[in-house]
Amino acid sequence: MSGWETVAVLAAGLAAGGINAVVGSGTLVSFPVLLAVGLPPVPATVSNSLGLIAGNASGAFGYRRELRGQGRRLLALLPASILGGLTGAFLLLHLPASTFEAVVPGLVGLAVVLVAVQPLVQRALQHRRSADDVEQHVGPGRTAALFGGAYLTGTYGGYFAASQGVLQIGIFGLLLRESLQRLNALKNVLTLAVNTVAAGTYVVVATDRVDWAAAGLLAAGSLVGGAVSSRYGRRLPEPVLRTAIVVLGLIAIGVLLRR
CB proximity list for 142: less than 8 A, separation 6 or greater: 175, 176
> Is the pLDDT confidence value at 211 over 70?
yes
Indicate the angle between helix axes 97-126 and 238-258, nearest 10 degrees: 160
- State yes or no: pLDDT of 166 exceeds 80: no
Residue 157 has pLDDT above 80, yes or no: yes
Q: 0.85 cut: is pTM over it? A: no
pLDDT digits (tens, 9 = 90+) for 22-49: 777 788 889 889 999 999 888 998 899 8
10 Å CB burial of residue 190 (0-12, 13-18, 19+) is buried
Q: How confident is the model at residue 220, as a pLDDT?
A: 95
**The pLDDT of residue 134:** 46
| Least confident window among 119-123, 209-213, 221-225 | 119-123
Please give the Cα distance from 42 to 9 (Å, whole number).
Answer: 17
Q: Select from 27, 6, 4 the least CA-distant residue to 16.
A: 27
Q: Give the contacts of 92 (CB within 8 A, at least 6 positions apart).
A: 42, 45, 46, 100, 158, 159, 160, 198
**pLDDT at residue 55 tops 70:** yes
Q: How far is CA 86 from CA 52, 132, 141, in A?
A: 17, 34, 25
Q: Specify whether the CB–CB gap between 175 and 146 falls below 8 A.
A: yes
Looking at residue 132, its pLDDT comes to 46
Q: What percent of the chain has pLDDT over 90?
A: 25
Asked whether the beta carbons of 102 and 156 are under 8 A apart, the reply is no
- The DSSP letter of residue 159 is H
Between 9-18, 73-82, 113-122, 133-142, the lowest mean confidence (pLDDT) is in 133-142
Confidence of residue 205 (pLDDT cuts 50, 70, 90): confident
Separation CA 78–CA 189 (nearest Å): 9
